[in-house]
Amino acid sequence: MTQGIYSVLATHLRMVLRWLEAQGEQAQEHFERHGLDINVLQRPRERLPAEGVAALLADLRDRFQRPCLGTELAEFHRLSDTHALGITLLASDNGLEALERGLRYQRLLSTGAPMLLEEHKNQVSLIFSPMTFELSRDVLGTYMNAMIWRCMKMAAPSALQPLIVEMAASQPDNQHFETAMGCKIAWSQNRTAMVFDKSQLLEPWQMRNTEIIRANEPMLDNLLKSLRTGDIAGKVRWQLLDALDKELPSEEAIAQALHMSPRTLQRRLKAENTSYGEVVQQTRMQLAQQLLASPDISATEVGLACGFSDASAFTRAFKRWTGTTPSDYRSGMPNTDSLQQKG
C-alpha cells in the first residue's frame, strides 16, 4: 500500500496506549517500531499514517497472540478520544440519525477505513471497508464493531440489539467478540457489517440533545473542511469522487481544478510517494467494493459510478485489483435473511 495517503486521528490511538499499559508494556517502543510518534496522541488535531497504524495493530495481535485484539482495544476506548465527535453522535435523536451523522464525519477518525450505510427492506447495515488496513483488517473489523456498539449502548434504548454481525475475517479460537456483541456472528464473509432492525434504530435515544449538536457541528464541519484541504492525494480523491459517476477526469483536469499545473501536481504527489494513476486505482477499487455491497445496484451501474464506460472494462479492472470478478465478489456476500434464520 502506498505510503502517506491515508491517516488516522492520533488521539483515537489512545486505546492502544491504555491496552499496552495494562499489559505492563512500554508503549513507546511498540509505536516507534512502526515509525509512529507516541507524543502526538496528546495533540487534538494531529494525525498518524494509516499504514503505520495497520502495521502496529498486526504486530500487537501476533506478538501477544491476541486473535481478538480489536475487541480488547474497544474496551479501552473513551469518548474523549474522539473529542466532540463522540458526544455529538450520542446526542442524536435516534440510532439511524447517529449512524448517518457518523458517516458524515467518518473521515475525521480515519481517511482509510470508509463506512457505508445500506438500507434494505426493514434492515440497516453499517458496512466497514478497511481497505488500507490489509495487515490488520481483522483487528480493525472487530474493533470498529465492538467500539461503535459499546458507544451506542450508552444512549440507545435497552431493546436495541444488532440482528447479526458479518465479518470478513475467519473465526478466532475464542468467543470474546461474540460475548461483546451479544448476537450471532457470521465469519468468513465478503464484507464486514453490523445489521440492525430499522424500527429499533428509530426509537428515541436517552441522551438526545439538539443544543449539543447545534454547538458542536460547526466545529466538526470546520475540522472536516481542514482535512479536505490537507494532503494533495486527499484533494485528488475528493475531486475524483465528485466526478467519477460522469467520466474519469484526466490528470490535467484535476490539476486545473486544484489550481496548479499538471507538472506541479505530479511533483507534489511524488513527494507523498504516490502518483495520479495510483490514487485513481485506489479510489475506484474502494468505491467499487463499497457499491457492490449494495444488492440494489447492478454491477454495470457500479462500473459506471466508478468511471468505466462499459461493463467489460470494469470487470477486467476489478479482477486485476482483487483477483475475482465483480459478480463473483458479490455472489460471495451473505444473504442476511438466511443467515439470521440459521441462527
The DSSP annotation for 82-151 comes to: GTHHHHHHHTSSBHHHHHHHHHHTHHHHBSSS-EEEEEETTEEEEEE--TT-GGGHHHHHHHHHHHHHHH
Which residue type occupies 167?
A: M
Q: Which residues contact 18 (CB under 8 A, 6 or more apart)?
A: 76
In a shared domain, residues 175 and 281:
no
In a shared domain, residues 27 and 175:
yes
In a shared domain, residues 114 and 235:
no
Which pLDDT does position 36 carry in this prediction? 95
Last residue of some domain: 183, 201, 219? Answer: 201
Which pLDDT does position 1 carry in this prediction? 34
Which pLDDT does position 5 carry in this prediction? 58
Which pLDDT does position 252 carry in this prediction? 94
In a shared domain, residues 189 and 247:
no
In a shared domain, residues 47 and 158:
yes
In a shared domain, residues 61 and 123:
yes
Asked if the structure places residue 219 within a domain, the reply is no
Count: domains in the chain: 2
Asked if the structure places residue 39 within a domain, the reply is yes
In a shared domain, residues 171 and 91:
yes
Which pLDDT does position 343 carry in this prediction? 46
Going residue by residue through the chain (343 aa), what tens digit of pLDDT does each one get? 333 457 899 999 999 999 999 999 999 999 999 999 999 998 877 889 888 898 999 999 999 999 999 999 999 999 889 878 999 999 999 999 999 999 999 989 988 777 889 998 899 999 987 655 666 778 988 999 999 999 999 999 888 999 999 998 889 888 899 999 999 999 998 889 999 999 999 999 999 999 899 888 988 887 887 776 557 887 788 788 777 777 788 999 999 988 899 999 999 999 888 899 998 988 888 788 767 766 667 888 888 888 888 899 999 999 998 888 998 888 765 444 444 444 4
In a shared domain, residues 187 and 241:
no
Task: Tell me if 127 sits within 8 A of 191, measured CB to CB.
Answer: yes
Last residue of some domain: 185, 201, 217? Answer: 201
CATH number at residue 308: 1.10.10.60
Report the alpha-carbon distance of residue 157 to residue 206 in Å, rounded: 7
Domain hosting residue 143, numbered range: 7-201
In a shared domain, residues 26 and 142:
yes
Closest alpha carbon to 108 in 232, 208, 12: 12
Which pLDDT does position 342 carry in this prediction? 45
In a shared domain, residues 197 and 235:
no
Cα distances (Å, whole numbers) of residue 194 to 128, 163, 228, 287: 9, 8, 28, 19
Which pLDDT does position 135 carry in this prediction? 66
Report the alpha-carbon distance of residue 113 to residue 130 in Å, rounded: 4
Closest alpha carbon to 35 in 51, 14, 24: 51
